[in-house]
Amino acid sequence: MARFHDSWAMFESNNITINGVTMSAKEFKAQQRAKKAKAKKAQQINEIKLLPNDIKQLMKNVKVLRSLTAYYHHGYRQWGRIAKGIITAPTIKSPFLNVVLRTKEVNDKIAEIETIGKKGDKAVFQYVEKLQYLLDDLQKHLDNLLYGISKSGVLSSAIQQHECISGEGRRLGLRILVQRGDKAISEIGRIIAKLEQIATKGVDPLSYTSKGKLSA
């Protein structure tokens, strides 16, 4: 054992020359540790900067939220009183407004994440955690809205063939929005799970493609 310590001490005292620069083994090890720490920090900052775009990619799978917001704000202008009657129906009015308001909060939080993320600031993870909670709240209100629409009976009423109910293409009716909204509830759950991983463990647990996008 004594010989081991003696040989280790000799190694520590030896000088190392790299690219014409001579330093002790201790200095060399310290330099290598510093390089690794710097590289790790640079990688983390780069991943943080990629994060806002990755979150936007995830949110593309729930575009129905934007469509529902458009229906709420522009339905009357497009279809008149018939749309207003739907939007203000007793079982629809309150949950519809809640979905619109929560969708705005989510979009505002994503905008904040984009601002913070561009700076490579670790504080972005706190904003991601808040986004997770906002989406959880939104998911519940969206479920309430779909239930309210179903309970109203409007999808099978006398106006079921009207464009505001059955419309497709550029002027989506309520029926297709409900179908997509039902799928969005599950998708939001998946997004929440990914955001929870990011908020608690950073971006490392998630797989990145060559372009830095979060894996599906």
More confident residue, 103 or 24: 103
Paired with 126 in beta bridges are: none
Q: How many CA atoms lie within 13 A of 169 on its CB side?
A: 3
List of long-range contacts for 110-116, beta carbons under 8 Å, 24+ apart: 110/52, 110/55, 110/56, 110/59, 113/51, 113/52, 113/55, 114/52
d(CA 118, CA 188): 25
Of 105, 98, 111, 107, whose CA–CA distance to 72 is shortest?
Answer: 98
Question: Does residue 175 carry a pLDDT above 90?
Answer: yes
Question: What CA–CA distance (Å, rounded) separates 168 from 176?
Answer: 7
Spatial neighbors of 193 by CB under 8 A, at least 6 apart, are none
pTM: 0.74
* Per-domain boundaries in the chain: 53-201
> 205 or 65: whose pLDDT is higher?
65
Whether pLDDT at 4 is above 70:
no
Confidence band of 46 (pLDDT split at 50, 70, 90): low
